[in-house]
Amino acid sequence: MRYSLISVLWFLCASVWGAENSPPAAKPVRPLPAIEHVVIISVDGLRPDCALLADMPTLRSMLRDGAYTFWAKTTAVSITLPSHTSMVTGVVPQKHAIHWNEDLPFSEPVYPKKPTVMEMAKQAGYTTAMVAGKSKFSALNKPGTLDYVFLPAALNAKVGNAIVADEAIKIIEAHKPDLLFIHFPDVDSVGHAKGWGSHPQRAAIEQTGKELARVFASLDRAGIRNSTLVILTADHGGQGLTHGVDDARSRHIPWVAVGPSVKKDYDLTQLASLEVRTEDTCATTCWLLGLPQKDYFDGKPVYDAFEKAR
């Protein structure tokens, strides 16, 4: 059967119009419907005892209103990029294959061998965003996986916590992303310069607490505070002027969840069988967004942090 040129053009235009104007695919069914947004906040180098000693009113408020443990564990390597990649992929470094910790002059970009939670969420129809204070987080910026991104432009560059907070606030108030990952770098920087547990590092932790308060205030202004789950954690702790492989002072990290459906003032270390690990952050976020638990995950959802989770 022959078609006239006009008929063919009409069909093509109608097809394009239909694709552009078709309703978006339905998002997955979430197990806790009150949680519509997830914000993962990592304070680089935040050792748990240092956090508890610091004057951080926002953290204290999160503890009163949420579930927490100060005995969570990061990866055995306990360094920034591999540990953060485990945090957002749900697997140990041997599986995601990000073993370096700086911008490297690859001829082509190299990304984790397993998808990040941002990539999985984007594929499911969620809006995703990342704001990080170190340029090496470009390894997590796989094309097509993030709707909104801020990273330092230069190789092996970093920006301070205030700029990170500014950029996160802009994204929150303008776009209200379903999933946002925020990385604050200053506590780690001061630890390397002045020492973990030093008075200058404690001051940096307290300043980070003020930036954290600004992020929470932006959730209020955006009108999504009551529908947002916030996870506050870290990639590693430290000792002396560094952080080391399989050192307890480097491996222990805080893990705090606050938001709708979260148990209040609940110390997860009451559960002798529960050890929260950094890979659990990805698994928990996937569960909250109705995404499948991958059979290759090393992490698992922290169900015990939530009311009526199962």
- Within a domain: 52: yes
At 25 the pLDDT is: 63
pLDDT tens digits along 14-58: 444 544 454 456 899 999 999 999 999 999 999 999 999 999 999
- Within a domain: 282: yes
- In whole angstroms, give the CA distance from residue 158 to residue 165: 14
Q: What is the pLDDT of the chain when averaged over all its residues?
A: 93
- Within a domain: 9: no
At 51 the pLDDT is: 98
Reported pTM: 0.92
Lowest mean pLDDT among 160-169, 285-294, 300-309: 300-309
pLDDT tens digits along 200-245: 999 999 999 999 999 999 999 999 999 999 999 999 999 999 998 9
pLDDT tens digits along 75-84: 999 999 999 9
Domain that holds residue 166: 37-305
- Within a domain: 30: no
**CATH value at residue 191:** 3.40.720.10
At 244 the pLDDT is: 86
Which residues make Cβ contacts (< 8 Å) with residue 257, sequence separation at least 6?
Answer: 66, 67, 68, 229, 230, 231, 232, 284, 302, 305, 306
At 309 the pLDDT is: 64
- In whole angstroms, give the CA distance from residue 137 to residue 156: 10
- In whole angstroms, give the CA distance from residue 194 to residue 203: 11
- In whole angstroms, give the CA distance from residue 309 to residue 35: 12
- Within a domain: 251: yes
Burial category of 289 from C-beta neighbours within 10 Å (exposed 0-12, middle 13-18, buried 19 and up): buried
Q: How many domains does the chain have?
A: 1
- Within a domain: 18: no
Q: How confident is the model at residue 105 (pLDDT cuts 50, 70, 90)?
A: confident
Decide: 114 and 282 in contact? Cβ < 8 Å. Answer: no
DSSP conformational letter for 77: T
- Within a domain: 16: no
The mean pLDDT of 140-167, rounded to a whole number, is 97
At 20 the pLDDT is: 46
- Within a domain: 285: yes
Express as a percent the part of the chain with pLDDT over 70.
91
At 5 the pLDDT is: 47
Q: Report the 10 Å Cβ neighbour count for 226.
A: 11
> Does residue 2 carry a pLDDT above 70?
no
> Does residue 7 carry a pLDDT above 80?
no
At 9 the pLDDT is: 47
